[in-house]
Amino acid sequence: MLSNITEFVKKYQKDIILIIIIVLLFLFSFAAGFITAKYQNKEPIQFIEN
């Protein structure tokens, strides 16, 4: 069983690394955007009726 996993990883090593890099970039981008949006000091939009 373990030998099958190691063979699979060796066969698709470049693809696995590429997928891991893409997922990490996605998570980093999401976290950076979330932190930026959370700490922005903008006043909320207020609608005033006439």
pTM > 0.85: yes or no: no
d(CA 35, CA 19) in angstroms, rounded, equals: 24
pLDDT given for residue 11 in this prediction:
96
* pLDDT band at residue 8 using 50, 70 and 90 as cut-offs: very high
Residue 7 has pLDDT above 90, yes or no: yes
d(CA 46, CA 24) in angstroms, rounded, equals: 38
Residues 6-34, mean pLDDT to the nearest whole number: 96
d(CA 20, CA 10) in angstroms, rounded, equals: 15
Residue 50 has pLDDT above 80, yes or no: no
Measured in Å, how far apart are the chain's first and last C-alpha atoms? 73
- Measured in whole angstroms, how far is the alpha carbon of residue 14 from the centre of its chain? 20
